[in-house]
Chains A and B, each alone.
Chain A
Amino acid sequence: MNILKIKRGLTVTFAALALAFGSTAAIGQEASQSLSSESVIETIKQRGVIKVGLSTFAPWSMRDKQGELIGFEIDVANELAKDMGVEVEYFPTQWDGIIPALLSGKFDVIISSMTRTPSRNLTINFTEPYAYSGLTIMANKQMTEGFIFEDYNSSEVTFAARRASTAASVISTLFPEAQLLQFDENTASTQEVLNGRAHATMHSGPQPHTDSRTYPDTLYVPFDKVWLAQGESFGVRKGDPDALAYFNTWIGIKSVTGWMKERNDFWMKTDDWKDQISE
């Protein structure tokens, strides 16, 4: 009797489970079909708002003293919205979840210093690059004294990098023997190098140079070389050629007129914006 009861209970439980998961999958599929059937450009125009997903990453996007978002990408997104004649709304997102959030329709476009890579391209589409920052190695002076490039590829050497970043995958390609520690943001990986728990890290943009100016006794940029400057692009959902066409045209024109380079130089090469943030 008891066994019968348990069996019945289990059946009910499993039926409910199967129902729950089945309907979830179906809803997801329908949503992705309806998303791809119309261009996000039309949605943006109708809504009067472009929703931009980003993950804060100095100096691409960061918070100023008033807690407002500033940075190269904020300038880009504001200019884009201005040219489209719409307002802009930002969706600060954790880096790990930024692609799933785009896919599930939380925002229209990723503008977040995302490097285009073949593996990411399997899931989302990329525009033409609007910046080419590439990655630079930053190392701990004492720990890597006398190191040549080949010395970094050893099981004795530890790298730190941001999880799921291009840097993490480049490190494992360039230095397959080295250990790799992964963190949620770049500040943590820099701190590991500062504390001597990792020999080196790899960051994009001007970060390695600014960090080694802040800690000149410990940090330095050992190689005057930039890896994988394959370009930062907007990310859009697949199946939307109109959106790709519009963003590509926009990026093309902004690059030709020199606007993109001027803004990029301002944030990446000068310190003129430093008084806006707390340091």
Chain B
Amino acid sequence: MTIFGKKLHWIDVAITLIIVALVLFVWQQIGSNLNYKWRWHLIPNFIAYWNEDTQSWVANLYLEGLFATIRICIMAGALALVLGFILGVARCSNNLTIRMLARTYVELLRNVPPLVIIFVFYFFLSEQIIVALNVEDWSRSIARSESSGIWELFFGDMRSFPALLSGVIVLGMFESAFVGEIVRAGIQSIPKGQTEAAESIGLSSVGKLRFIIFPQATRKVAAPLANQFISLVKDSAIISLISVQELSFVTFDIVVSTNAIFEPWITTALLYFTICFGLSLLFRRLE
């Protein structure tokens, strides 16, 4: 027997059968042990609904949460890339103080659980930043003004912009520690001979990085960075705990409002899977 142009061994068939049997068994166990009324018909309405008055489709909680998650990931990813790049270069610096500061930052963020970092940041620091920059009044004035459309495209409901900002900063800071390590590994993976050769032809330290190290390192770090971005999408669920209205948070709300527990979470799991698997296919193609 051949499938996908490859020959199928009898062991492959046996493994497939065992897996199918296992899935059926688990499914049957859930059906008989779980006292639960499945109400899948509740879910589509929370993705989008048809508004009779305006005769148009309106995005409901799920889509809003999904867009929020995508926005947060893009912004936090960009922040993590910038911070991480600086950290990675600082970690390879010749100056001990710079190296130690970067090391402190990386070790601090890498060795504390993300949940704890998020709480410390949200309850102690973020409010100070938001008050100091007067972000709240600024975003509220935009939310009230006529021309809020373009802002909402990028940042969602401007009234919840301060929460979004906290979420993006803390997520970006957390991920930057890992990006920094990837960048450092990339730089250090370039053989020492390259650096020496660059120095011998008289390149400055900036020129050395720019013309010799980075072009080679970029190729090496692309794959781990892509991987880190996918992990950021998954990590973003954790900022639901600081009340950022993203995909996981709206799922809590849907669970409470419908009294259905499995359908909303399964739907959310599928949405996350779709994003992450899609990204992973995309990155594989780019490579």
Contact = CB atoms under 8 A, between A and B. Distances in A.
Interface of A: 8-9, 12-13, 16-17, 20, 24, 27-28, 31, 47, 49, 56-58, 62-67, 89, 91-94, 96-97, 100-101, 103-106, 184-188, 190-191, 194-196, 211, 214-215, 218, 277-279
B33 A195 contact: yes
Most chain B CB within 10 A, of A63, A185, A190, A194, is at A63
29 contacts: A8-B96, A9-B103, A13-B104, A16-B100, A16-B104, A17-B104, A24-B120, A31-B127, A49-B140, A57-B256, A63-B61, A66-B58, A91-B163, A92-B243, A92-B253, A94-B240, A97-B123, A97-B241, A97-B243, A103-B123, A105-B127, A106-B127, A106-B243, A184-B252, A211-B259, A215-B37, A278-B46, A279-B39, A279-B42
Contacts of B257: 56, 58, 62-64, 277-278
Contact of B45 (A97, A186, A218, A278): A278
Contact of A89 (B64, B97, B159): B159
A186 B104 CA distance: 41
Nearest to A190: B259
A94 B252 contact: yes
Contacts of B107: 13
A13 B103 CA distance: 8
B261 interface: yes
Contacts of A191: 36, 261
B74 interface: no
Interface of B: 33-37, 39, 42, 45-46, 49, 58, 60-61, 64, 96-97, 100-101, 103-104, 107-108, 119-120, 122-125, 127-128, 131, 137, 140, 159, 163, 240-243, 245, 249, 252-261
A13 B35 contact: no
B259 A58 contact: yes
Given A218-B35, A278-B46, 9 more contacts: A9-B96, A9-B100, A9-B103, A13-B103, A24-B120, A62-B253, A100-B119, A190-B259, A279-B258
B259 A187 contact: yes
Most chain A CB within 10 A, of B100, B245, B249, is at B100
